[in-house]
Amino acid sequence: MITFNKPYLTGKETDYIKDAVLNLKISGDGIYTKKCHEFFEKKYGFKKVLLTTSCTDALEMAAILLDIKEGDEIIAPSYTFVSTVNAFVLRGAKIVFIDSSDENPNMDVNAIEAHITAKTKVIVPVHYAGISCDMDKIMALADKHQLFVVEDAAQAIDSFYNNKPLGSIGHLSAFSFHETKNIVSGEGGMLVINDDRFLQRAEIIREKGTNRSAFFRGEVDKYGWVDIGSSFLPSDIIAAFLYAQLENLEDIQQKRKSIWNVYFEGLKQLEVSGKLRLPFIPEYACNNAHMFYILCNSLDERTQLVQHLKKDNVHAVFHYLSLHKSPYYLSMHDKKELLRSDLYSDTLLRLPFFYELSNEQLSVIISSILSFYEKR
Ligand SMILES: Cc1ncc(COP(=O)(O)O)c(C=O)c1O
């Protein structure tokens, strides 16, 4: 079976984990955590980075930092992972779901302004498949209405908007290093803080509401409970794993981009003949090769294609189900139809994508899809 995902190991992960263990500083913010922080701050110019145990945790930190409370409204796409919005629901906020755009699953930026009310506090753009949302338009709306922007950049490492690194544009941004991402640590994530107002408090929230980080830097002579917070920081063992991946970021990205291009070239003829749609990358965005998806014409067609691929030993998977229709949120949604989000839920199919996917395997997958559409 050609699996959908296979985490790639660079070879240094266990060496660095062993080193972290022998350093005997295996709780959070050890040597490897600092190395990872420095790497991201230097490479992408992020003002401040804090590793977290997941992107979900980074989003929860963002919601606490922005003082989200009952009655606040958050604008987010319906076609996303539950954590994008759950972080804000945990603080009592109402989610105002926006439809996807026609050209790709990202939120329809032109639909945002009509949904802004006096209660709106945050816009949460999700860069689906690592492909940027139109950040100039989103930041302009945020400026005009005095809102915050939290980029859900879970899938968007090493991706850019008009040459600006994703994650560096919003007030806060959240990344994931879950094993399905380009750069992994099993579970893992990071919060990026681009706005000075949140620098100090972010450290406190991450350390259970204490000023322990300042204490470790020798800035205070004892530490105590100064705010709300939780345990959001990962062990240095996780950071050691992540650092081994970061050292190979260029190589990983190059390989993933070449796999993406093989898919694109191999399937282009099906788009040209109108049989399916391939990912659309706007001019302002770039491709970080996080994912390769195709858009079928209907749910029924996608179900048949999944079965067809399975017979050829290929595991392809669909993705999100519209959150505005989820069992948890349906009764709280304002009943507006979000038809494009539903369409992506029904028709988007993700193809196997991982560093070690061979040309032979790519050929099998592409041939299987071509043969499926030959008869259509
Ligand atoms: C858009 C989006 N946001 C958030 C998350 C949550 O990431 P994590 O598993 O690191 O908590 C995911 C997970 O895949 C995601 O796709």
DSSP state letters, 350-376: EPP--TT--HHHHHHHHHHHHHHHHT-
Angstrom distance (rounded) from CA 265 to CA 366: 10
Greatest Cα pair distance, the chain, in angstroms, is: 74
Where residue 17 falls among pLDDT bands split at 50, 70, 90?
A: very high
**What is the pLDDT, as a whole number, of residue 25?**
87
Ligand 1, atom 7: closest residue by C-alpha? 55
Q: Is the CB of 46 under 6 A from ligand 1?
A: no
pLDDT for res 349: 98
Q: Is the CB of 132 under 6 A from ligand 1?
A: no
Give the per-residue pLDDT at 65: 98
Q: Which two tokens stand for residue 315?
A: 């595991």
- Report the run of H or E that residue 299 belongs to, with start and end: helix 299-311
Predicted confidence band of residue 122 (pLDDT cuts 50, 70, 90): very high
| Average pLDDT of the residues in 45-72 | 98
Supply φ then ψ for residue 28, to 5 degrees. Answer: -75, 165
Burial class (CB within 10 angstroms; exposed 0-12, middle 13-18, buried 19+) of 321: middle
Mean pLDDT, all residues of the chain: 98
Compute, in angstroms, the gap from residue 325 CA to the centroid of ligand 1.
19
What is the Cα–Cα distance from 270 to 373, expressed in whole angstroms? 8
Which candidate, 218, 146, 177, 171, places its Cα nearest to that of 57? 177
The pair of structure tokens assigned to 328 is 């948890």
Spatial distance between the Cα atoms of 206 and 61, rounded to a whole number of angstroms: 7
Q: What are phi and psi of 331, to 5 degrees?
A: -70, -15
With a 6 A CB cut-off, is 178 part of the ligand 1 pocket?
Answer: yes
Q: What angle do CA 329, 175, 10 make, to 5 degrees?
A: 130
Q: How far is the CA of 92 from the centre of ligand 1 (A)?
A: 20
Residue 81 Cβ inside 6 Å of ligand 1? The answer reads yes
Rg of the chain in Å (alpha carbons): 21
Q: What are the structure tokens assigned to 363, written together?
A: 């050929």
Supply the pLDDT for residue 268: 98
Nearest CA to ligand 1 atom 8: 55
Whether 56 is in the pocket of ligand 1, judged by its Cβ within 6 Å, is yes
Indicate the top mutation candidate among 178, 291, 353 to test ligand 1's pocket, ranked by most ligand atoms within 8 A of CB.
178
Q: What is the pLDDT of residues 256-307, one digit of tens each?
A: 999 999 999 999 999 999 999 999 999 999 999 999 999 999 999 999 999 9
Instruction: Tell me, in angstroms, the distance from the centre of ligand 1 to residue 154's CA.
Output: 5
**pLDDT of 375 strictly over 90:** no
Per-residue pLDDT at 103: 97
Question: Does the Cβ of 84 fall within 6 Å of ligand 1?
Answer: yes
Q: What is the pLDDT of residue 360?
A: 98
CA distance 261 to 211: 48
Ligand 1 neighbourhood includes 176 CB (under 6 angstroms): yes
CA of 52 to the centre of ligand 1 (A): 12
Q: Print burial letters for 44-62: b (CB count within 10 Å at least 16), e (below 16).
A: bebebbbbbbbbbbbbbbb
> What are residue 51's DSSP bridge partners?
190
Q: Report pLDDT digits (tens) over 21-56.
A: 999 989 999 999 999 999 999 999 999 999 999 999
**pLDDT for 171-226, tens place per residue?**
999 999 999 999 999 999 999 999 999 999 999 999 999 999 999 999 999 999 99
Average pLDDT over residues 152-179: 98
Give the mean model confidence (pLDDT) for residues 157-180. Answer: 98
Contact, 321 vs 341, CB < 8 A? no
Give the atom of ligand 1 at the shortest distance from the alpha carbon of 126. 1
Provide the residue type at 146 as one letter.
Q
